Structure 1
């Protein structure tokens, strides 16, 4: 041991320390990577839960809008009578009731559009429009008076919405033995 060069011993010790530090740095990198993966999983779970809450709130807002529309009809007998008489189309409504029926139809059209739009944006399930709102509105526009007013207000609605309503009406009309087009 007396033959050992003190500079070689020091270099060996420094190399060992350097190797130990590199080893500890490698372990720290692995721990950091695992921590990042765990935090990303946590963020993903939080985003999923946040999206679920947002979708639920969107569905609740849609339901509230529809409830207000339906309540305007079933809570007021006079409005319900105008709505029914307007759909039947005979005898023709007087000017005041025709105006009221037109606004009821527009309100129903825009409420149906809102569900269509939420469906297209992925905020509510597609069935909300395809099986719910669209056939519900077709029950109104595929009547003699409803078809006349629908022909008037179609131009106010977005073209993609009209195209989807027409597509659904193609199957709906023959299945229910009705016409969704105003007679001329």
Structure 2
């Protein structure tokens, strides 16, 4: 038995079971039900990816004329430039959000290779506590990298950041990224 202040014996604290994935208390077993049912991609994205999947993080992409519209969940709070997150938690969040964006673009089918693209984003927040535009744009850096990983452009430096707007949508918070080919914009 360990000793506390003043040399008094401290009884051991009872072990409270927590989910090995999201660190929340499961109803039974080692994982809570949503984490147990969340898909695993096998790419080592780990706890943050399963947590995004558990919370209904749906990523999708569609063609809207000549533009590619990628819909992602809100970025994890660790990706905010104002977050004071531990480097390991931030790294895991970047890896998961980057993989989510890349998989969304790959689900469209054959992805063309553009020389450059312009990215505009609309961030739909669940309440009126909206971040300013430049913080929202900085939080989307991992998404830019994931889009480049999917093969749309050769490098993420070829994706030129356009305007980032912040709006409120209480029912479905999300991020909509619109990508247009740079050459198609200059010709039109």
TM bucket (normalised to shorter chain) is 0.3 to 0.5
**TM-score normalised by L of structure 2:** 0.36
Greater relative CO (CA pairs within 8 A, separation 6+) = 2
Q: In proportion to residue count, which structure has more strand?
A: 2
Which of structures 1 and 2 has the bigger CA Rg? 1
Richer in helix (by share) = 1
